[in-house]
A and B are shown apart, each in its own frame.
Chain A
Amino acid sequence: MHTEEPLAVYSLNFDRGDTSSGAIPLWDPVTDTRLGALPEWIRGHREEPVAYVRGSRPSVGVTLLANHFVPTTFDLSAFGPGLGEGGTVRWVGPHPVTLERTAGWSTLPEPVAFNRPLPNRIGVHTLELQWFAEWTDGHGTARRLFLGDTRHELHTSGAPMEHGVPGAPPVGAYAPLMRWSSRWCAGLEGRKAVCDALLQGLAETRLRYGLPAWSVRHMLLAGGGMCGGWYQLFQQLANCQGVAVEGRTLHLVPLHDPSTDEVRWEAMVAAAPGINQVEPARQTRFLGWFNDCARYPFTPDEPVELLGRQDSRYCFFAGWDDGHSVNFLEDGGRLYLYDPSFRTQAVALDMPMPEPDGQPVALGQESPLRRDYLNQAMPWVMGTLRANGRLWEVDVARGAFGLTVRTEQVPELGILWTR
């Protein structure tokens, strides 16, 4: 605050915690509090982002600070760039103001509505406003007093979001997600285009795969997470643009053969390091000797060439305890799989949306899920198998990884889906 200024805009509050404000509530993941709980802009102290659905007309709560004698009644206006239309436009006012006091803070009794809507497109905008008080003095002369500049990081989203999505704040979104989402999707139209842009933008978050965090807020603080966190992050990014994607977790169903003690299969195995990793994460990888079979199937009595190698891989164990979480989008009559942990491109699948009913399903070699996604994302499955005259057991605590065979060579794979 410059002491010589007789009157200045002190703070501006966009998200005032009620639906009439029209703002999308943004949250600080560190404190888990709404940014709008305090004015998003406080002169010299605070400058937080605000977000609206595109084409919205914001309103703002205004607090003025008077230092010495000023007129008690005047018209308040704010001018700024046209945001795509060019030129300078009057965003606010003239709004009649009567100050309750001519020294100290005055918060206007009602929020002041903007004169015009925000751009009707997804994007990030910098709105710099110049505020003025205008009045006519006792001599009939028009007077104008500069009240200061304000600067706002303004996000416009594609469509109204669903509030209270599990794992997200009670209303609105975590601010970093809105920032990423509106930047990556700027100018885009269509649900698929939005999701594609989000998937391709994820690497910019610098969040890494394979860290032990399973919720979006925890991921933002820890710097990454497991697929159980990544698919929620992707859901919330899409929700910022009003796009609903489904989350599903793929579990492997093990089949134990009591006559041979073999188990097909005990884990899906991935060797890709995951997003923003150069090698599988130390915290969650399995490092050891993997016995990759040169071919499959084979009978216990047949000799099988084993391509043993020291390697670090991720193991997604069979059963309810573990699985791989991904997202699905239905658009234009097609189903698309988005795997934010391992893939940067959507996978179009010729299959219906999987039901999260926990019912076992057998996938043949030609099933679209296996052919177009699973064989590449999880290139091996690990089992307790008999080969070359012995039983190769899986006991990861002892570093025994059984035998690993190419997923594409397995005739039938039992899986189930949960949410």
Chain B
Amino acid sequence: MPSTREQLRRMVTEREAPPRGFSWDALMEVLAQLEAAAVSGALPLEAEDVRVLADLVARRGRVPLHGAVAVPHCMPPEEVIQYRALKALEAAERLDCVRELLPRVGREADSPALRDLVRQLQSS
């Protein structure tokens, strides 16, 4: 069975999401791994991973999910996904992939934290 990371890559390249959707916890784990890898700088993110992160931002964090979805207290789940994808892209120094999406993300965000992050990224 393909890993969540592979399923995400396939969702971007073949526009095919897993039939049952993603597990929220697995999705968060992949985003944490990508961010940790980018922060450590041990291995640059592969181009496919960068495309996955950019795609998550482009699709406004809306991905099919199954099972119990945690309800974050401080921002909507879709914005958690965008927040984490942007943090990973920032750490990987690949914000160029989403630069033109940032104004829209900042405009549409309900969460002050995501708006603040976008503001910082736009001025960086």
Are A314 and B73 neighbours in the complex by a CB distance under 8 Å? yes
Q: Mark A316-330, 1 if CB is under 8 A from B, else 0.
A: 110111111100000
| Stretch of A15-23, A118-126, A226-234 lying at the B interface | A226-234
Q: Which 3 A-B pairs give the minimum distances between C-beta atoms? A: A215-B110, A228-B74, A419-B116
Interface residues of B in 103-124 (CB under 8 A from A): 109-113, 115-116
CA A214 to CA B74, docked complex, whole Å = 7
CA A371 to CA B115, docked complex, whole Å = 31
| Stretch of B12-20, B45-53, B55-63, B80-88 lying at the A interface | B80-88
Are B113 and A418 neighbours in the complex by a CB distance under 8 Å? yes
Task: List chain A residues, Cβ under 8 A from B75.
Answer: 214, 228
CA A228 to CA B84, docked complex, whole Å = 17
Q: Mark B65-94, 1 if CB is under 8 A from A, else 0.
A: 001101111111001100110010000000
Q: Say which residue of A167, A229, A320, A322 sits within 8 Å of B70 (CB atoms).
A: A322
Task: List chain A residues, Cβ under 8 A from B109.
Answer: 166
Task: List chain B residues, Cβ under 8 A from A166.
Answer: 109, 112, 115
Given contacts A214-B111, A356-B116, contact A227 B74 (CB under 8 A): yes
CA A17 to CA B83, docked complex, whole Å = 35
Q: Say which residue of A212, A215, A226, A314 sits within 8 Å of B74 (CB atoms).
A: A226
Task: Name the residue on A nearest B25 (C-beta).
Answer: A397
Are A316 and B73 neighbours in the complex by a CB distance under 8 Å? yes
24 contacts between A and B (CB under 8 A): A167-B112, A214-B110, A226-B73, A226-B74, A227-B74, A228-B74, A228-B76, A228-B110, A283-B71, A284-B73, A316-B73, A319-B32, A320-B83, A320-B87, A321-B84, A322-B72, A323-B72, A324-B73, A325-B74, A356-B116, A396-B70, A397-B25, A418-B116, A419-B113
Q: Say which residue of A167, A321, A356, A419 sits within 8 Å of B72 (CB atoms).
A: A321
Shortest beta-carbon distance from B35 to chain A in Å: 9
Task: List chain A residues, Cβ under 8 A from B80.
Answer: 320-322
Are B110 and A249 neighbours in the complex by a CB distance under 8 Å? no
Q: Mark A34-56, 1 if CB is under 8 A from B, else 0.
A: 00000000000000000000000
A192 within 8 A of B: no
Size of the chain B interface, CB-CB below 8 angstroms: 24
Chain A CB within 10 A, most for which of B28, B70, B109: B70
A158 within 8 A of B: no
CA A175 to CA B36, docked complex, whole Å = 45
Given contacts A214-B111, A247-B112, A419-B112, contact A226 B71 (CB under 8 A): yes
Given contacts A166-B112, A214-B110, A419-B112, contact A228 B25 (CB under 8 A): no
Task: List chain A residues, Cβ under 8 A from B73.
Answer: 226-228, 284, 314, 316, 322-325
Given contacts A166-B115, A397-B25, A397-B67, contact A324 B110 (CB under 8 A): no
CA A249 to CA B114, docked complex, whole Å = 11
Interface residues of A in 401-419 (CB under 8 A from B): 418-419
A152 within 8 A of B: no
Q: How large is the interface on A (under 10, 10 to 19, 20 to 34, 35 or more residues)?
A: 20 to 34
CA A227 to CA B71, docked complex, whole Å = 11
Are B71 and A284 neighbours in the complex by a CB distance under 8 Å? yes
Task: Name the residue on B nearest A226 (C-beta).
Answer: B73
Q: Say which residue of B28, B72, B83, B110 sits within 8 Å of A218 (CB atoms).
A: B110
CA A320 to CA B79, docked complex, whole Å = 11
Task: List chain B residues, Cβ under 8 A from A212.
Answer: 71, 76
Contacts beyond the supplied A214-B75, A214-B111: 11 A-B pairs with Cβ under 8 Å: A228-B72, A228-B73, A228-B74, A249-B112, A317-B70, A321-B72, A322-B70, A322-B72, A325-B74, A397-B67, A418-B113
Task: Name the residue on A nearest B76 (C-beta).
Answer: A214
CA A324 to CA B113, docked complex, whole Å = 12
Interface residues of A in 371-419 (CB under 8 A from B): 396-397, 418-419
Are A167 and B110 neighbours in the complex by a CB distance under 8 Å? yes
Shortest beta-carbon distance from A221 to chain B in Å: 13
Shortest beta-carbon distance from A353 to chain B in Å: 15
CA A247 to CA B110, docked complex, whole Å = 13
CA A356 to CA B116, docked complex, whole Å = 9
Shortest beta-carbon distance from A209 to chain B in Å: 10
Task: Name the residue on B nearest A235 (C-beta).
Answer: B112
CA A332 to CA B83, docked complex, whole Å = 36
Are A321 and B28 neighbours in the complex by a CB distance under 8 Å? yes
Shortest beta-carbon distance from B119 to chain A in Å: 9
Chain B CB within 10 A, most for which of A226, A284, A418: A418
CA A333 to CA B71, docked complex, whole Å = 37
CA A316 to CA B74, docked complex, whole Å = 9
CA A284 to CA B116, docked complex, whole Å = 26
